[in-house]
Amino acid sequence: MIFDLIKKRRSVFPSSYNDKPIAKADVLKILEAANWAPTHKKTEPWRFKVMQGPSQEKLGRFLSEKYKEVEPRPKQIKVKKLLENPAKAGALIAICMQRDVKESVPEWEEIASVAMAVQNMWLCCTELGIGSYWSSPGLIKYMGEFFDLKEGEKCLGFFYMGYYKVDIPEGERTPITDKVVWLD
């Protein structure tokens, strides 16, 4: 049931991943789920750049070097994490948004569509037993130096995916009644 799947979805971080690779067919299934997200005026603004193997290591090197370049006092623990986390994933997807050239809808709606595409990916991963996590480090503003981004395209983060070796705790939420006002 979809409600149970929604409640089961969690952020599973790269440190919890094991070495089991994710099949390309499963990555394509996850991306196909993304492709069915709602989109105002059918702009379909989501764009994805899939990395597996050497491209993940290359991204890790870029992120750690860029962090050392732009951060006045880089923390070694963060340098190490930026370097190693991409390679820990079974697959890593750059989440990008292609702005509608006509700007027929507000940018926030395009971003919301991309976020819904990512939620579809997350739910699909949950169904497949794959852990996932959307990371949006400040360094994403430099991704035009790493990827060949088209005009109007911007990187919104990275979607880490991997099979995991730990038990994931149940989620907690405060009651919805604390967040709703009924207007009669």
Using an 8 Å Cβ cutoff, are 126 and 4 in contact?
Answer: no
Which residue positions form the known binding site for FMN? 9-11, 40, 134-136
Domain ranges of the chain: 2-165
**Cα atoms in the 13 Å half-sphere on the side-chain side of 137:** 20
**pLDDT per residue as tens, the chain (184 positions):** 899 999 999 999 999 999 999 999 999 999 999 999 999 999 999 999 999 999 999 999 999 999 999 999 999 999 999 999 999 999 999 999 999 888 999 999 999 999 999 999 999 999 999 999 999 999 999 999 999 999 999 999 999 999 998 888 888 999 999 999 999 9
Which residue positions form the known binding site? 9-11, 40, 134-136
**Residue 48 neighbours by CB under 8 Å, 6+ apart:** 31, 34, 93, 94, 95, 96
CATH no. of 2-165: 3.40.109.10
